[in-house]
Amino acid sequence: MMHKLLSVWLKRPVSLSISAAIIFLMGLLSLYHLPLEVAPSVEFPRLTISVYYPDSTPELIEARVTSPIESRLQELTGLRKIESVSENNYSRVYLQFDRKADMAFILFRVNEILSDYKSWLPAGVLRPEVQKYIPEEFKQNGFISYRLLTDLPESELYNLVEEKIKRPLRNVQGLAAVEVFGLRRPHVQVLLDMSKMEKYGLTLAEVRQKLRGRIEHTGFIQNRSRRLALRLDNAFHSLQDLNQIVFRKNQSRYIYLKDFASVKDTYRRLIYKKRINGKHTILINLIKESGANTIGVADRVFATIENIQNGLPAGNALLLVNDASAPLRSAIDDLLLRTAIALAAIFLLLFIALRRFLYAGVILTSILLSVLTVFIFLYLFDYSMNLLTLAGLALGFGFMVDNAIIVFDNIEGKRRAQEITAHTLKVIFPIFASTLTTLVALLPFVFLKQELQIYYIPFALVVGAALIASVLFSFFFVPAAYWQLAKKESKAAGRKKPLAGSALYQNTLHFFIRHRRTCILLFLWAFGLPLWLLPESVKEDEKASAFQRFWTSAYNVTLGSALYNSIRQYSDPLLGGTSYLFFQYVERGEPWRWGGDTYLIVSIRMPQGSDYGLSDKIVSEFERIAIKEDGVRQVETTIGPSSAYMRVDFEKGAVFSYKPYILKDKLIQRATQVGGASIGVYGYGDGFSSGYAGSISNFRLKLKGYNYLELKNLALRLKKELEKNRRVSNVDINRPAYWSWNDLYELQMKIDRQKLALLHLKPSETIPLIRLYLSETLTSDKIKIGYEEKFLNIKSAGFQSLQLDRLTDKWFEASGSPPFRLGQFAAIQKKKTLPQIKRENQEYLRYLGFEFLGPYRFGREYLEITLENFPLPVGYSIEKNYYSWGKEDETNLLFVVLLGLLFIYMVTASLYESFRDPFLIFLTIPAGLIGIFLAFYWTDTVFNRSAYVGVLFISGIVVNNSIILISKMKDRQRQGTDLLAAVTQGSLSHIRPLFLTSLTTVLGFLPMLFLAENKTGDLWYTLALTGLSGIISSFFFILIILPALFYLLESKKNKKMKSEEEKVRL
């Protein structure tokens, strides 16, 4: 079938040209419409509901906000787990759903349930915010942010921001939201003179009723032939209208609002204040829709901002603070430059080797069409172009080059269509086998846990698409295009040129075959024996079996003896080879991590009841230290109720210097000098990396139990245990993500209902009167002045200065009741309350975190040992909740890798009908690792996320090449050639394509290597370093060691067969 299909395709040059043109155009259109993002646009089956309830305690939040929300959300289908946190002013409810839940519908239902929150949540609660879950690896520092520089008064500023800035930005396609921080909302305050109200006989209820001005629909009236609606305009058009409200007529005059109250047009207190580089600012934060093209949305935003700038009053301007599209633009421009240089170098090499521009063009066109096919795949299946899919494309690019060159090399010099078809079919089996083994290796990714699937599934799909596209174009486009060129050339012109140095290679190969055992031992020594992993001794267990005790004793006498341990400092490096150098001296980062900005965080929590002034004063000292420090790009400060938060970002050149560490130490030193506040200083990103990318404080534990105080005592005991190691510092039993406090108090007013009834009073009459004197923001009252809706706050004059003792002794008067004092029926008590209520399936939670000053793996080993020996009471547990890369993730990934290797072995064994040949193929992978280990050791480079992609890349390429080489040697054997000649001829026939594929890969990686600005932060640098070193070392292995090893095993097999034949004869 394949023979007929290929023969037909060779005879249809027009169809070939049209098909290539269609793919070319569709690929370019797909690329144009692909969303460009730094990280993949993902959707996890989790939601977070956040509610702000000002001036409220955790117990009040739990009773009146968190519990009602939880009860209403229990009805959601597919809900697996609900967690909640109730703390000062905030409620957070975390929902986790089934893996296959329809999150679009669930999000709609949650918003529908919460839409009428005002009817079942207390007055003063702000609108609940529903947020999708985003893992730490995908979180970014916003999309685009601007700072408004202005000197306008607040009366003009609010309208400027709402009408001239927010309104145009909301219309930008691809923007999900426009957030404004630092802008105070209009607020109408009515201060009542209670003595005058008493004099005029007015009640609070009358005042509230009169202030509800509105436009009412009265009915309809006939006007000639038309029926018109009649409305009563009872709205307020200015503050003067409020002052002129008539309440009643007293003797000969009317009583107006201005007679017993003053009306002020003011602004609500800010929940948060923002500063950038120490200057107060109005921050405009733009949030991009998930899946929208980052660069496209950014361009539309910049065009809109330019129009807004032109319409702003003189002296006002928008200053760009953060642009998430800038690094993506830079990365794409850089990648395009490197790709262009690499393609030019590859084309030049192919031209030199093939000596024909058109021949080189055929291979490059095949590669280009394969890449464009991947773009079409991404577009059709709604994937974005991001660093993850680009990494998959980079891995697939190697197969595209490899397959195209192998097919072309096999058909070059053939002049007839039948010959081209026959020689193309000769490489179908090895290319099919290598492609199938790689595809099978990707299958276990579906068994990854859910969050890791988000990392690996798009990557695996892109690699799979690249492999399939590469095979199709290599088998159909390359032979067909070559045939069209071959028909137009003379017979001599198309003759295949032998590669120079073939004789030298043949002599070298024979030398290594003669000394095959020695060279194989040298190879094993180069990779290394992991003797350094062995323990110094094995502890004897009296309860163990006799067999176990025997081996324990034998180990302690030999490898665990004092003599051997005394020479281990020499034997381990000597016998460990490159593996020892890598695992002992090369720092290793996480396999995947995104958004690796380097920044410092300073979190400040003040005692309960502290005002803005105190937290502002404390954080300003930290600002002063950070702003004047060399290498700091920006200091952003947020000041909230009893708290402050500061983020310090560094200039690009300072990220990998000593400067972030120096500043962190200065800030910590300042924090130790501040009393009365809880202050945390944390460093994040590559600049604070010590092996694992991220913060040095990279350990967090989750403690669970049914008693809050016992759980706290457990955390304190664990803290004391961890601090026994000098490398452990900054142990925090109140570790974020959630804060906790030791002492938190609230005032509770207990009403004696019997005494209240004797005074002929009701709670509904007394509470509104008491609120007139409270400095609270629990109000949802609004008033419309003209076309603008403002918050309405009705208070008694002088309420700010009223103290607690005066409140209890103050006389109140309700309508129809005699005057009363609060102390007659109520008692106010100071009560200690829980600082934070966190629950997970009815259990209390507490988080503990600490910093370990050293490589991540050492800290993790110490933590494992500590927890193993730490006694836990019944009903309590400790979970190792590592920040990004936990043991569960690592175990899951290791399982998938091992399962992939098993699948590869099973497929290759079935294809070759041999259990031995897959073993030979697998040996090429450690051959590539030898070069990689040495390269990272010599260059002192962190083995980070892109290096893992490089290892996958090298594994695929070397397995591909080794399968083809073994297939060629076996073909010679099947033709009756003796073993030495079969090995020699098969290796010689493969040296040219192997040389071309290896050298083109090297040339493709060189621009990535030499154009990198810094070797630690450049994703493509480590990918290139891995690819270059692995290709070079595996090249020599495949050319020399693999044929020698094949000869060794085949000669033993032949001897065994001859021996069996002689036995049969006898």
> Between residues 189 and 1017, which one has the greater pLDDT?
189
Q: What is the mean pLDDT of the chain?
A: 78
Q: How many CB atoms lie within 10 A of CB 688?
A: 21
Q: Are 425 and 1 in contact (CB under 8 A)?
A: no
Q: Where is the domain boundary, 694, 722, 742?
A: 694
- Each residue of 765-807: pLDDT tens digit? 777 777 777 765 545 567 777 666 676 777 777 666 666 667 7
Structure confidence at residue 746 as a pLDDT band (50, 70, 90) = low
d(CA 573, CA 581): 7
670/617 same-domain check: yes
Alpha-helical runs (H) found in 846-978: 856-868, 887-912, 917-922, 924-939, 945-974
pTM for this model (two decimals): 0.62
Does residue 80 sit within a domain? yes
- Each residue of 976-991: pLDDT tens digit? 788 888 888 888 887 8
Does residue 205 sit within a domain? no
d(CA 909, CA 308): 67
Find the largest Cα–Cα distance for the chain: 142
127/146 same-domain check: no
Does residue 566 sit within a domain? yes
Predicted confidence (pLDDT) at residue 917 exceeds the cutoff of 80: no
- Each residue of 517-572: pLDDT tens digit? 888 888 889 888 888 888 877 777 777 777 777 888 888 888 888 888 888 888 88
Q: Where is the domain boundary, 670, 694, 718?
A: 694
Does residue 536 sit within a domain? yes
What CATH number is attached to the domain comprising 58? 3.30.70.1430
What element of type H or E holds 276?
A: strand 273-276
Does residue 300 sit within a domain? yes
Q: Where is the domain boundary, 70, 103, 133?
A: 133
Does residue 101 sit within a domain? yes
d(CA 214, CA 235): 4
d(CA 418, CA 4): 11
d(CA 862, CA 172): 52
- Each residue of 460-485: pLDDT tens digit? 888 888 888 988 888 888 888 888 88
Q: Are 393 and 31 in contact (CB under 8 A)?
A: no
Q: How many CB atoms lie within 10 A of CB 559?
A: 16
605/681 same-domain check: yes
680/626 same-domain check: yes
154/299 same-domain check: yes
563/685 same-domain check: no
Q: Give the residue carrying structure tokens 């577009």.
A: 379
Q: Which of 704, 722, 744 is nearest to 846 (CA)?
A: 704
607/625 same-domain check: yes
560/605 same-domain check: no
What pLDDT was estimated at residue 495? Answer: 54
540/662 same-domain check: no
Does residue 264 sit within a domain? no
- 186-192/788-796 β-pairing: parallel
155/175 same-domain check: yes
Does residue 909 sit within a domain? no
What CATH number is attached to the domain comprising 169? 3.30.70.1320
Sheet holding 643-650, edge to edge: 279-280, 273-276, 632-640, 643-650, 599-605, 678-684
d(CA 472, CA 482): 15
The number of residues making up the chain comes to 1066
How many domains in the chain?
4
Alpha-helical runs (H) found in 56-190: 58-61, 67-73, 103-114, 154-159, 167-170
171/285 same-domain check: yes
Q: What's the domain range around 319?
A: 142-182+281-323
CA dist 648 to 23, 660, 685, 698, 735, Å?
A: 48, 9, 12, 19, 20
616/664 same-domain check: yes
- Each residue of 148-184: pLDDT tens digit? 888 788 778 888 888 889 889 988 888 878 888 888 7
d(CA 960, CA 377): 24
